Amino acid sequence: MGKEIERKFLVKDQSFKPLATTVDRIEQGYISLRPGGTVRVRIKNDRAFITVKGLNNGAVRDEWEYEISYSDALEMINRVTEGTVIKKCRYNVDYEGHKWEIDVFEGVYQGLILAEVELENEITSFAIPPFIGEEVTGKPQYYNSVLSGMKKG
């Protein structure tokens, strides 16, 4: 079992774009939206994954992720996911020794930009890039699973 330790922030502006080392297209849907254990199917560029995540405990939660075939993922997204399918572009930015993932949402969540930084442990210190705004770690309304379950559009 893996552990995911990440902090999440709103993004103030788009000054991160020229700093990005890569940009990924992501489409994801949820097979299960239970707060105690979500199951997500994600297509990231030309690869696909199924991920099970446990309940958040602050910035920490259990996580299991497995690569699956692209065609299986597409079929799952189209046939068995709940709620809204989330589409976004992820900009990967290295900033003072940490990798930041900045998600620019499309579709019903256009205008929402969130950044995450994964950490080795909960007390790891890190520099905050200038484009980062309010911290929203632990605020459920910013979880992708909650956004998906809102059934907008």
**pLDDT tens digits, residue range 79-108?**
999 899 999 999 999 999 999 999 999 999
Phi, psi of 75 (to 5 degrees): -65, -45
Q: Which two tokens stand for residue 86?
A: 């989330």
Catalytic residues: 30
Kindly give, in sequence order, each residue whose CB lies less than 8 Å from that of residue 18, ignoring residues fewer than 6 positions away.
none
Q: Which range is most confident: 58-67, 94-103, 120-129?
A: 94-103
Domains of the chain: 2-149 (2.40.320.10)
Residues above pLDDT 90, as percent of the chain: 73
Q: pTM of the predicted model, to two decimals?
A: 0.90
d(CA 53, CA 61): 7
DSSP states along 86-136? EEEEEEEEEETTEEEEEEEE-GGGTT-EEEEEE-SSTT---PPPTTEEEE-
Q: Are strands 60-68 and 2-11 parallel, antiparallel or unpaired?
A: antiparallel
CB 6 within 8 A of CB 142: no
d(CA 110, CA 48): 23
